[in-house]
Amino acid sequence: MRLYETEIASRLMLGTAQYPSPAVLTEAFRRSAAGIATVSVRREAGHERAGAAFWGLVRDLRVTLLPNTAGCHSVREAVTTAQMARELFDTPWIKLEVIGHADTLQPDPFGLVEAARILTDEGFQVFPYTTEDVVLAGRLLDAGCEVLMPWGAPIGTGLGLTNIYGLRTLRAQFPQVPMVVDAGLGLPSQAAMAMEMGFDAVLLNTAVAKAGDPARMAEGFARAVQAGRLAFEADPMEPRDMAAPSTPVIGMAFLE
C-alpha cells in the first residue's frame, strides 16, 4: 500500500488511546503488525513537553506515525495542532479532524475543506477524516488531499458500516484514490467487509483498546483485514437471486 509515496506493509492502522496500560498497547501493536499508529496532539504538550514518555512509547513501536488533530472544532484549532504535530514528530503527515457536531463527532465539511487547503499549501500531506459524501470527497481532493478517510460509523460506536450504499458509491466514484475506512468499526468481520468492498485499509482504536483482551482482538482484526483484501483481489462471484447447482446434472442417472 502506498500513501503519499510511502510504502506501508500492513493495511491495518491502529490508534494509541484508551489502552489499559503501555504494556497492553505494545502487545496489541505486536500482535496486529499494524503499519501505522495514530497519535493525538495536545497544546500543552507543545509548550511544556508534557507526555514525553508517551511520545517515546509510540516511537518505540517502530511503525509509521500519523499525528491527528483529534478534538479540534475549528479551522484555527486544527491548523495550529497540525503545526505542533510537525514540530513534535518531524513528519508532514497529519490526520485532519475538524469536528462539527458534538454528539456524533461528525466532521464539519466546510471547515475540513478550508483546513485541508491551508495545510496542503503549507506542505502537509493531509489524511482527512470525512464522511462518505461524494461531493465533499471531491472538494477535499481539489484542496490537495491524496488520501481520503471516510467513517464507517461515528467514532467509538462499534456500529460498523452504517451506510454501505454510500461507501460503495464513494469507492466507485474515485477508484484510484487510496481510501481508509476510519472510525466506527467494532468487529473484525466489519473490517473484512470494508476490505472486500475495495477500501485500501482500515483504522480503528476503541474496538481494540476497550476489548477484554486487546492484543487478541488486534490480531483478529489483522487477520480479517488480510482475508478481506485477499477476497477483493480474487474478484468475487456476483450474487444471484436464484439457486445454481454446484454439481453438474450431465451424466447423472435417471430413474423411471
Active site residues: 95
Burial of 38 from C-beta contacts in 10 A (0-12 / 13-18 / 19+): buried
186 contacts 157 by C-beta, under 8 angstroms: yes
